[in-house]
């Protein structure tokens, strides 16, 4: 059984494991105040071409979203997200458990637009309803699509005009940035959002996300929020070391490219063999529509995510490749799909 279920089935890239072993018995300060975390922040500030940003290392994506959004908003304020948005679907109501409503809007491609946000603002227009204050987007989205530079620029300009915060979930940021359709640089996000995070859990790390706060008004006392929500690791060095390795010699981007390339091979083969897709994805998640009778055969050799029922005879599945996906297994899957 080979897994195409997610992009965190494997452990971590060997460079990270080697660095963790080599530094294992060296003593350092705790709670992210160690020399490794400091060096990792300097590296990221250089990559992002800005030394005025605040960077915080947080163990996981749900924690990054929960801590950021609950810290940035006042009690009566709410979040706007696509109906596919991770905070609305796969985080067990974590945001709403902090008292902040998630307002979802329908989106066929997983993305928000100015027009969709505008409709929400027109409805929520007085103190008898929650006040929309933060716009949540994912890059790449939960169905594999990406925001291009012009789309993100338009969104952020509108958010500033309407006094909204723009927050970017970057769990699969590497896959988005290295997509062949992408025209954004990582450093562009500093000027096109109020906060975002660079996901590593799904791109070669054991765990960890780098939260980048760009808006000065959101920076104060943020470490208090991290601690209060249980995410300030005593052994914070473990996060710093991983980000040092990931951003050494472009490893972070190389790993993401591999995941995208493996997904592209599968998606191209699906199209060539007349399979329908829920949506064409330029990143490492692909969504073919499979006959239910064929699913039983595939399930004997591969694991993947059942996404949604398409009709009574077909199901949409998600095939997800990773930084470590074996190309031989990809070719094997392609051959099995061709035979079906």
- Is residue 267 classed exposed, middle or buried when 0-12, 13-18 and 19+ CB atoms within 10 A define those classes? buried
CA-angle at 132, arms to 129 and 133, nearest 5°: 140
Structure tokens at 253: 């981007």
> Which tens digit of pLDDT belongs to each residue from 26-84?
999 999 999 999 999 999 999 999 999 999 999 999 999 999 999 999 999 999 999 99
pLDDT at 18: 98
Mean pLDDT, residues 142-166: 98
The pTM for the full model equals 0.97
Percent of the chain residues topping a pLDDT of 90: 100
State the pLDDT confidence band at 104, using cuts at 50, 70 and 90. very high
> Which tens digit of pLDDT belongs to each residue from 4-14?
999 999 999 99
Q: Do residues 281 and 259 make contact, with C-beta atoms less than 8 angstroms apart?
A: no
Mean of per-residue pLDDT scores for the chain: 97
pLDDT at 74: 97
Q: Where are the beta strands (DSSP E) in 83-171?
A: 102-105, 131-138, 165-169
Structure tokens at 161: 């005009």
pLDDT at 134: 98
- Is residue 249 classed exposed, middle or buried when 0-12, 13-18 and 19+ CB atoms within 10 A define those classes? exposed
Cα separation, 53 vs 323, whole angstroms: 28
List the one residue out of 209, 61, 205, 79 whose CA is nearest residue 131.
Answer: 79
**Buried/exposed code over 76-110 (b: 16+ C-beta within 10 A; e: otherwise):** ebbbbbbebbbbbeebeebbeeeebbbbbbebebb
pLDDT at 259: 98
State the pLDDT confidence band at 299, using cuts at 50, 70 and 90. very high
Cis before 140? omega within 30: yes
Mean pLDDT, residues 100-117: 97
CA quadruple 19, 20, 26, 32: dihedral, nearest 10 = 110
Cα separation, 211 vs 63, whole angstroms: 10
Mean pLDDT, residues 110-133: 97
Q: Do residues 212 and 48 make contact, with C-beta atoms less than 8 angstroms apart?
A: yes
Domains of the chain: 2-7+251-339 (3.90.1150.10), 14-246 (3.40.640.10)
Structure tokens at 117: 């946000």
> Which tens digit of pLDDT belongs to each residue from 221-246?
999 999 999 999 999 999 999 999 99
Cα separation, 176 vs 158, whole angstroms: 22
* Chain-centre distance for alpha carbon 160: 23
pLDDT at 51: 96
Q: Do residues 247 and 47 make contact, with C-beta atoms less than 8 angstroms apart?
A: yes
Q: Is 253 helix (H, G, I), strand (E, B) or coil?
A: helix
Cα separation, 53 vs 192, whole angstroms: 13
List the one residue out of 188, 178, 288 whose CA is nearest residue 168.
Answer: 188
Q: Do residues 37 and 29 make contact, with C-beta atoms less than 8 angstroms apart?
A: no
State the pLDDT confidence band at 17, using cuts at 50, 70 and 90. very high
């Amino acid at each position: 059984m080979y897994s195409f279920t997610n992009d965190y089935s494997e452990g971590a890239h060997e460079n990270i494991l080697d660095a963790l072993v080599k530094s294992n018995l060296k003593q350092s300060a705790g709670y992210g105040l160690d020399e490794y975390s400091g060096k990792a922040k300097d590296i990221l500030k250089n990559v992002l071409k800005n030394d005025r940003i605040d960077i915080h290392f947080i163990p996981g994506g749900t924690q990054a979203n929960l801590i950021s959004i609950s810290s940035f908003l006042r009690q009566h304020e709410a979040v706007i997200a696509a109906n596919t948005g991770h905070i609305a679907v796969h985080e067990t109501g974590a945001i709403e458990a902090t008292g902040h409503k998630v307002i979802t809007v329908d989106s066929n491609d997983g993305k928000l637009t100015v027009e969709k946000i505008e409709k929400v603002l027109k409805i929520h227009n007085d103190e008898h309803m929650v006040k929309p204050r933060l716009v949540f987007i994912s890059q790449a989205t939960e169905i594999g699509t990406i925001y291009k530079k012009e789309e993100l620029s338009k969104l952020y300009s509108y958010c500033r005009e309407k006094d909204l915060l723009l927050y970017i979930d970057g769990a699969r940021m590497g896959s988005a940035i290295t997509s062949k359709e992408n025209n954004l640089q990582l450093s562009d996000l500093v000027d096109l959002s109020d906060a975002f995070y660079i996901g590593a859990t799904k791109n070669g790390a054991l765990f960890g996300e780098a939260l980048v706060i760009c808006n000065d008004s959101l920076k104060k006392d943020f470490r208090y929020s991290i601690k209060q929500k249980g995410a300030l690791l005593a052994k914070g060095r473990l996060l710093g070391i991983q980000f040092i390795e990931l951003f050494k010699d472009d490893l972070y981007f190389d790993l993401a490219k591999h995941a995208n390339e493996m997904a592209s091979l599968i998606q191209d083969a699906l199209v060539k063999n007349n399979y329908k897709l829920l949506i064409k994805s330029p990143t490492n998640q692909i969504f073919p529509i499979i006959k239910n009778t064929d699913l039983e055969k595939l399930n004997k050799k591969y694991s993947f995510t059942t996404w949604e029922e398409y009709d009574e005879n077909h199901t949409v599945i998600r095939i997800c490749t990773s930084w470590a996906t074996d190309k031989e297994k990809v070719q094997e899957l392609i051959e099995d799909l061709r035979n079906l």
